[in-house]
Amino acid sequence: MNTQMKLSKLHLVAALIVSLNSLYVTAKEINLVTTNWEPYFFEDGLEQGVVCDIAAQALKLSGYTLKMTFTSWARGYKGAMVGKYNGMLGAYYTEERAKHFDFPDPIMPVVESLFVLKERKDIKYSSIKDLKGLQVGIMINASHGKEFDAATNFTKVPAADYERSMTRLLSGSIDAFAGGHFAILYMANKKFPDDVKRLKALEPPLFSPQLYVMFRKSDHSQEYVKAFNDGLKALKASGAFDKIKMKHNM
């Protein structure tokens, strides 16, 4: 065998090694999508928010790296459904979603509330039945609780984000809007500082769901679920989980 043929074979082997290494790196990366939902997860936040931080560290302990994409919730959900991403971060569990996604252990609880303007003294609320005839803002492709989602006694007005619903509430085109209690207050303080004092959360809250990562059902989704669960358990056992929450003032 001449020197040139040996060099050609060496180059081929080297190329195969590089190719295999690239495949390995790709296989160990998990791509998730979400929306900006401060203070829990947001693109320009410290470690992209407490939930992203916890998810990234849990997966890292199981040998995975987390790649995040931020877009609207509706666009992200659609992308995850068709396999553009491995799943979504920051979702609530619903029976409908469980048909398409595998859910690992929950990350942390949140509270969902209905918000109105304080001057709307005419709105009396104690249950979903009291929303009869109202125009209520919702997030596109989001869940606001099983009872709320199934209700038909009021009109649901979809929006891409809370900011749009807040604008509609202030203009009077909707009567109330639903969403994460602290996420709405965070948004209002940041985007509507002159009007945030006019906001009022109705009691009782809609429900108190858990936040999850949900992995699109695939040949690898159960592997991802196990990796996430193992990492999350290790984080909690070591005390690192609580330290991450403290770092984010949660």
pLDDT digits (tens, 9 = 90+) for 131-161: 999 999 999 999 999 999 999 999 999 999 9
Please determine whether the domains at 3-107+211-247 and 112-201 fall in the same fold group of CATH.
yes
What is the second-level CATH architecture of the domain 3-107+211-247? 3-Layer(aba) Sandwich (3.40)
pLDDT digits (tens, 9 = 90+) for 41-87: 999 988 999 999 999 999 999 999 999 999 999 999 999 999 999 99
Do residues 45 and 68 make contact, with C-beta atoms less than 8 angstroms apart?
no
Domains of the chain, by residue range, sit at 3-107+211-247, 112-201
| Highest CATH level, class, for 112-201 | alpha beta
Q: How far apart are CA 127 and CA 147, in angstroms?
A: 10
Task: Output the pLDDT for position 6.
Answer: 45
pLDDT digits (tens, 9 = 90+) for 163-190: 999 999 999 999 999 999 999 999 999 9
Q: Which residues pair with 31 in a beta bridge?
A: 67
pLDDT-derived band at 18, boundaries 50, 70, 90: very low
- SS3 (DSSP) at 237: helix
pTM as predicted: 0.81
Q: What are phi and psi of 18, to 5 degrees?
A: -60, -40
